[in-house]
Amino acid sequence: MSASTTELAVLGLVAEAPRSGYDLAQIAARSTGFLWAPSRSQIYKVLPRLVQRGLARSEAVEQNGRPDKAVYELTATGREVLRTWIETVEEEPSGGAPVFLLKILFGFAASPEAVRAQIAAYRRLLERNLAVFERQEAGLPEDEPVYSLIALRHGIARARATLAWADEAERLL
Amino acid sequence: MSASTTELAVLGLVAEAPRSGYDLAQIAARSTGFLWAPSRSQIYKVLPRLVQRGLARSEAVEQNGRPDKAVYELTATGREVLRTWIETVEEEPSGGAPVFLLKILFGFAASPEAVRAQIAAYRRLLERNLAVFERQEAGLPEDEPVYSLIALRHGIARARATLAWADEAERLL
DNA sequence: CTGAGCATGTAATCGGTTACATGATTCC
DNA sequence: GGAATCATGTAACCGATTACATGCTCAG
């Protein structure tokens, strides 16, 4: 019943506008490319599955000069599954931080409140991680090689910057 | 011949100190946990493979009260493979940014110069990404929903913070 | 006439997860 | 007596990648 992140990401991109598998592969490389970028073949595997589950329907579009293409669009069920996913707050999504970003990116398919809730959950995750990093930093032995410290500071810097971004994001909403 | 990131991460952790599969699963959840965290069973699959390839050797350690354990340590070849990996600069590692961090974390197994080279490569990647994000931000249509902008700003904030971290890291070295 | 872009798909393979299986010891 | 920790592994499954296969059009 429950769908994978890849399926939901495809669902989200199709929700933006009806698209073909080929389109999705192109767009994924740009738009969501930094968050999630499956191979072409994986997209072609996922699309029929969505149709089979009643989340999308495909329409054959004839083109002159170019090969025909199958354009997919969401069904009402599909839109609802997407919305429910966006509205569901997971304290620690197994897909990691990118899941928060995807849900935010597809926020148009739900409500601003749902997006705010995702930002808040993301913030909580960042704060927990930051606390762990800072405790580890404090407990770092003197004789330890610098490398662990450098890696830790990477995590700290990113967590802090992302928390600052969360403030900005809430203002922008 | 070439090893996967997981194999090299295990190699790196074993290089720090001789460890058993069970140890590795525990440590991975802490130390490298945010960068790379495979399941226990995956670790138990990788370890014998490393032995078979001559990168590690295992030694049975008897314990009183507790089950015996197999402690793994690197061979000379293993240490060299690890060092070569750390010294190899990939402009765009398929494993993504975590690969840079892992190589830095295991820098003790190579030279400070190798680590500097990884930081420099990481920096170049960040600058390329940042340029892409900023171009996308500039080209964002007025009527676009805020969500794309918020997601973009996330990428920008993190890239900038990570570049600042790179400065700090080079100073720390 | 060759290569790039459009367009869709299958087959083989792999890296990895989840669940299963076992068994001793120690702490509550 | 029951749960948690130590300790190692196998089996089934799955999501995903790479390579393979096809075919048409348009630009250089």
Domain end point (choices A57, A89, A121)? A89
pLDDT of residue A116: 98
In a domain, B79, yes or no: yes
Q: Which nucleotide is nearest to A36 (CA to C1')?
A: D16
Least confident of B63-67, B79-83, B85-89: B63-67
Which pair of structure tokens corresponds to residue A2?
């429950």
Same domain, A58 and A138: no
Q: Which nucleotide is nearest to B39 (CA to C1')?
A: C17
CB A32 within 8 A of CB B151: no
Same domain, B84 and B135: no
Question: How many domains in chain A?
Answer: 2
Question: In angstroms, rounded to a whole number, what is the distance separating the alpha carbons of residues B152 and A30?
Answer: 11
Mean pLDDT, residues B44-54:
95
In a domain, B34, yes or no: yes
Strands of A18-123, DSSP E: 19-20, 56-61, 69-74
Residue that wins the pLDDT comparison between B150 and B63: B150
Mean pLDDT, residues B21-42:
89
Mean pLDDT, residues B38-51:
95
Same domain, B48 and B10: yes
Kindly tell me if the per-residue pLDDT of B162 is higher than 70: yes
Domain hosting residue B130, numbered range: 111-173
CB B166 within 8 A of CB B126: yes
Query: Could you list the protein residues whose CB lies below 7 A from any atom in strand C?
Result: A 20-23, 26, 40-41, 44-45, 47-48, 63, 66-70, 94; B 4-6, 37-42, 45-46, 65-67
Q: Which nucleotide is nearest to B7 (CA to C1')?
A: C15
Say if the Cβ atoms of A169 and B150 lie within 8 Å: yes
B148 contact residues in A (CB cutoff 8 A): 31, 105
Query: pLDDT tier at B135 (50, 70, 90 boundaries)?
Result: very high
Give the CA angle between residues B125, A95, B137 to the nearest 5°: 45
Domain end point (choices A55, A89, A123)? A89
In a domain, B97, yes or no: no
A106 contact residues in B (CB cutoff 8 A): 147
pLDDT of residue A68: 77
Helix or strand run (H / E) with residue B59: strand B56-61
Same domain, A85 and A1: yes
Same domain, A75 and A120: no
Kindly tell me if the per-residue pLDDT of B29 is higher than 80: no
In a domain, A30, yes or no: yes
Closest chain A residue to the Cα of B126, Cα to Cα: A34
Buried b (16+ CB within 10 A) or exposed e, B27-40: ebeebbebbbebee
Angstrom distance, A25 CA to D26 C1': 22
Same domain, A116 and A82: no
Closest chain A residue to the Cα of B105, Cα to Cα: A147
For residue A4, give the CATH number of its domain: 1.10.10.10
In a domain, B100, yes or no: no
Question: In angstroms, rounded to a whole number, what is the distance separating the alpha carbons of residues A155 and A61?
Answer: 48
Angstrom distance, B45 CA to D11 C1': 13
pLDDT of residue B28: 83
Provide the 8-state DSSP code for B92.
S
Q: Which nucleotide is nearest to B42 (CA to C1')?
A: C16
Same domain, B82 and B124: no
**What's chain B's average pLDDT?**
93
Say if the Cβ atoms of B108 and A173 lie within 8 Å: no
In a domain, B96, yes or no: no
pLDDT of residue A144: 87
Q: Which positions of chain A have pLDDT values less than 50? A: none
Residue A140, chain B, CB below 8 Å: the answer is no
Same domain, A16 and A68: yes
Closest chain A residue to the Cα of B112, Cα to Cα: A147
pLDDT of residue B1: 60
Q: How far are the Cα atoms of A60, A77, A94, B109 from residue B106, in angstroms, in the given order?
A: 53, 49, 26, 6
pLDDT of residue B67: 67
Least confident of A76-90, B35-49, B62-76, B122-136: B62-76
Kindly tell me if the per-residue pLDDT of B65 is higher than 70: no
The three-class DSSP label of residue A71 is strand
In a domain, A8, yes or no: yes
Residue that wins the pLDDT comparison between A8 and B63: A8
Q: How far are the Cα atoms of A3, B12, B27, B69, B142 from residue B40, in angstroms, in the given order?
A: 25, 17, 11, 15, 49
DSSP B14-58: HHHS-EEHHHHHHHHHHSSTTT----HHHHHHHHHHHHHTTSEEE
Query: pLDDT tier at B31 (50, 70, 90 boundaries)?
Result: confident
In a domain, B99, yes or no: no
Same domain, A123 and A61: no
Same domain, A13 and A79: yes
Domain end point (choices A27, A56, A89)? A89
Say if the Cβ atoms of A168 and B157 lie within 8 Å: yes
Same domain, A13 and A49: yes
Residue B117, chain A, CB below 8 Å: the answer is no
Q: How far are the Cα atoms of A46, A73, B145 from residue A61, in angstroms, in the given order?
A: 19, 12, 28
Same domain, B64 and B19: yes
pLDDT of residue B144: 87
Is the backbone of residue B6 left (phi > 0), alpha (psi -120 to 50) or beta?
alpha
